[in-house]
Amino acid sequence: MKTFAIHTFGCKVNAYESQSLRERLLRQGFAPAGKETAPDVVFVNTCAVTSEAERKDRQRIRNIRRKFPDAVIVVMGCSSQIHPEYYLENCDHVFGTSQKSQVESCLGLSTKDHVVRENRNLSYDDTPIRHGEHEERAYVKVQDGCDNFCAYCLVPFARGNSRSRTKDSVLQECAALIEDGVKEIVIGGIDTGIYASPDREGYVLASLLEDIVSLQGDFRVRVSSLEASQIDDRLIDVFARNTQKLCPHFHIPLQSGSDKVLRLMNRKYGVDFFRRQVEKIRAILGNCAFSTDVITGFPGETEEDFCSTYDLLEDLLFMRIHAFPYSERPLTRALSLPDKVPVALRQERTRRLLLLSEENEARYRKSLRGTRSRVLIEKKEREGIYSGYTESYLIVSVPSATDIRGCFQDIEWN
């Protein structure tokens, strides 16, 4: 019996695709290699979101080759899609992002380079799963690719055109996961809000969410990330009518609170629109939670631009801020922009936003006093103490004399 190991770097989409690969390998008779066992095959799912991520990918693969010289190494993912030449020397097979449902079929072939270079006219490559990566929570991929071409982002080049999964495939997977005991389903993709079932005209994300929450079982649904321009009245209404099943947590990437920088980034909204969207959601859904992504030190960002971002995030009370210093990426428009911000200043601005994130979370927690939340217990912290996430994606500790992992618990904020 052949053994395998899978190393996954980067985003939740990569983790989902690795989980699908794991399930296929198990069905085909492979066995996971033990911690002290040399695997026959090693699969590495790479990330290209920053130059540092790619550097770490290459370093890890070199280490794997040194540690397991006789193993077959199969590399796939965003970095190998953009830079297959980085990996051809140190592995046996290289895939990109468009054929992940077929990577195991390369074993035994003499061909080494399997990367499809033309990836702007692809159909959805369905890689369903039947078990969550974690017992309590499962990520469900419904969409792949991106057509936005933000000036800083390599994803459209790495992931190809935007394409969606069929409604029936998504619903069958969700039903199977719920039956398997999953309590939280996280709906996501590369550009989740653009979801549209290819075989059902007019069947969009709001339609899909309505059908998922109608499935039988004790579970809840979280949406991973949405662009401000993708949150329309119908989607908000679906959340408002399904408060028991749809988590009132919106992750909406801001990237910058400066209109000038947003234009340079080729983002599809302005600051005023973004603010109105957040205020409208909050007015309808009450004290829901907001998190966001921000890039600091984009070319041309002045201290005034950064302060506008800081003030907006503080004012709108984004309870969690994922801040990243700008990273130069090949193929992107930003690479040729003038007025580069020194790396040290990018990092300093990132630190300031991460401190603000901590302050905002503390403020948001205080705003919940006197209300109740439902916690999905996921971990045992120590004897008698368990932890999990609320519907607003806050981690809390819950005392219990019995093991309550995998259960929902109601708490009151004091």
pLDDT at 34: 86
Q: pLDDT per residue over 314-329, tens digit each?
A: 999 999 999 999 999 9
d(CA 118, CA 250): 34
pTM of the complete model: 0.95
Q: What DSSP designation does 113 have?
A: B
pLDDT at 296: 98
pLDDT at 400: 97
pLDDT at 359: 98
**Model confidence band, residue 37 (pLDDT cutoffs 50, 70, 90):** confident
Residue in the block written with tokens 């799912």? 45
User: Taking 90 as the threshold, does the pLDDT of residue 259 lie above it?
Assistant: yes
pLDDT at 90: 86
pLDDT at 35: 81
Give the relative orientation of helices 271-285 and 303-316 as an angle to the nearest 10 degrees: 10
Share of the chain above pLDDT 70, in %: 100
pLDDT at 10: 93
d(CA 307, CA 313): 10
- Within 10 angstroms of residue 225's Cβ, the number of other Cβ atoms is 21
pLDDT at 1: 75
Residue in the block written with tokens 């979101």? 49
Q: What DSSP designation does 365 have?
A: H
Q: pLDDT per residue over 90-125, tens digit each?
A: 899 999 998 888 899 999 899 999 999 999 999 999
Q: What is the arithmetic mean of pLDDT over 273-299?
A: 97
Instruction: Supply the DSSP string of 230-246, one letter for each residue.
Output: G--HHHHHHHHH-TTTB
pLDDT at 292: 98
Share of the chain above pLDDT 90, in %: 94
Is the Cα dihedral 391, 397, 400, 402 positive or negative?
positive
Q: Decide: residue 69, CB within 10 A, 0-12 exposed, 13-18 middle, 19+ buried.
A: exposed
pLDDT at 210: 98
Q: What is the arithmetic mean of pLDDT over 68-85?
A: 95
Q: What is the arithmetic mean of pLDDT over 42-67?
A: 94
Structure tokens belonging to residue 20? 């699908």
d(CA 284, CA 192): 22
User: Taking 90 as the threshold, does the pLDDT of residue 58 lie above it?
Assistant: yes
The rounded Cα 31 to chain-centroid distance in angstroms is: 28
pLDDT at 100: 87
User: Taking 80 as the threshold, does the pLDDT of residue 401 lie above it?
Assistant: yes
Residue in the block written with tokens 């629109």? 273
Q: pLDDT per residue over 123-180, tens digit each?
A: 999 999 999 878 899 999 999 999 999 999 999 999 999 999 999 999 999 999 999 9
Mean pLDDT of the chain: 96
Per-residue b or e along 357-377, where b marks 16 or more CB atoms closer than 10 Å to that residue's CB: beebbeebeeebeeeebbbbb
